[in-house]
Every structure is written in structure tokens, then in C-alpha cells.
Amino acid sequence: MRLLLIGPPGAGKGTQAARLSKTYDIPAISTGDIFRENVKGGTELGLKAKEYMDAGQYVPDALTNDLVRDRLGQSDAADGFLLDGYPRTLQQVEELDDILGVAGVTLDAVVVLTADTDEVVSRLLKRSAEQGRSDDTEEVIRKRLDVYAEQTAPLIEVYAGRQLVLEVDGLGSVDEVTERIVAALSGH
């Protein structure tokens, strides 16, 4: 199974990715998590990424694409994967098409998690209080939502044109959302 998970910040991508990874026995690859690990480790990539993340901006495509190409080349991703938060720009879609084309494989589905702005802002402010992520301040959250609407929402149409999109309501309990995704995938 080769899946993408798209949705606005706070829609539950990371939360659901961890569960789907177990259900389908595929690695969940989160570009956000990889950037945060690099920030924590003080790597050169981390230093560059932090600047963008703290401003609510996307990390430049060139840096992001390189790390995904490397990660998808690892053996555990050979038979399937779930990409959480990648691609996020049209250029990243092209890059992913190239990576998959070279490997001779195709995507099975693109799960689009939906959630309204009030809900995602409230979830992220709650996370901020619990975990203190530096991009979870109200100002940066609003910026991230704008960037998502401008740069990532148009990707949904691209994948819908390929008959890959499964839109799933991200409201409700974490279990309910997982059940909806699994049901949508089994009917696809």
C-alpha cells in the first residue's frame, strides 16, 4: 500500500499516520517529524528548516525533496509507505511523480483529512500548552493555515483528477477518524 495523507495543520495527520502505519504494516514517513529531529540534533538541515518552520512557512522544496528521495530509497519503504505531510507543493508533486516513476510504482490512494479552522486552531493551541512546539503559537498557526490554503489545497484537485482522493472527515474522536479512513480505503 502506498498512501499520501494530506490535510491542514491540526487535521490529525501525524496522529492518524501512526495508527495507519500499524494497521497496514507500512512505515509512516513524516517530513515534519524528520525536520524536527534535525532541529533537535542541531544538524545543518535542522538549522535551515527551523527558520522556516518557526515562521509558519514551508521549508524550501529542494531541501524537502532531497530528504524524501533518500528516505523512500530505504529498504523498509520498498513495498509500501504512508507519506504524512508530503507533498505540500505542486513542485513536490512533480518530484514524487519522478521518484515513483523511476521505481516503477504508483500510489494507491490520497487520503485528505478535513477539519474546520476553529477546530484545528483549538487543537494546536491545546498541543502548544502540552508540548510547547515552537510553531504552535496562534500567530504562526494562522500563517500555516494560509500557506496550506495557498500552496497545498490545490494539490487535492491534481490527485482528484487521477481518481486517487478519499476525503475523510477529521472531526470526532481519534478512533472514529481511523475507522473512517480504514473504511474508505477498503472501499477504494
For position 123 contacting ligand B4P by CB under 6 A, the verdict is yes
Q: Please say which residue, 147 or 164, places its beta carbon nearer to ligand B4P.
A: 147
Closest C-alpha to 85, from 186, 178, 7: 7
- For residue 7, the SS3 value is coil
Q: Determine contact, residues 181/107, Cβ cutoff 8 Å.
A: no
Site track for ligand B4P across 2-31, x = CB under 6 A: -------xxxxxxx--------------xx
Residues serving a catalytic function are 13, 88, 127, 133, 144
**Candidate list 2, 72, 86, 185; residue touching ligand B4P; CB under 6 A:** 86
Closest C-alpha to 169, from 112, 104, 108, 126: 112
Distance CA 47, CA 44 (A): 5
**Candidate list 4, 29, 35, 155; residue touching ligand B4P; CB under 6 A:** 35
- ω into 27 cis (within 30 of 0): no
Distance CA 94, CA 169 (A): 27
Tell me the site size for ligand B4P, rule CB under 6 A: 28
For position 58 contacting ligand B4P by CB under 6 A, the verdict is yes
Binding site for ligand B4P (CB under 6 A): 9-15, 30-32, 35, 52-53, 58-59, 64, 85-86, 88, 92, 123-124, 127, 135, 144, 173-174, 177
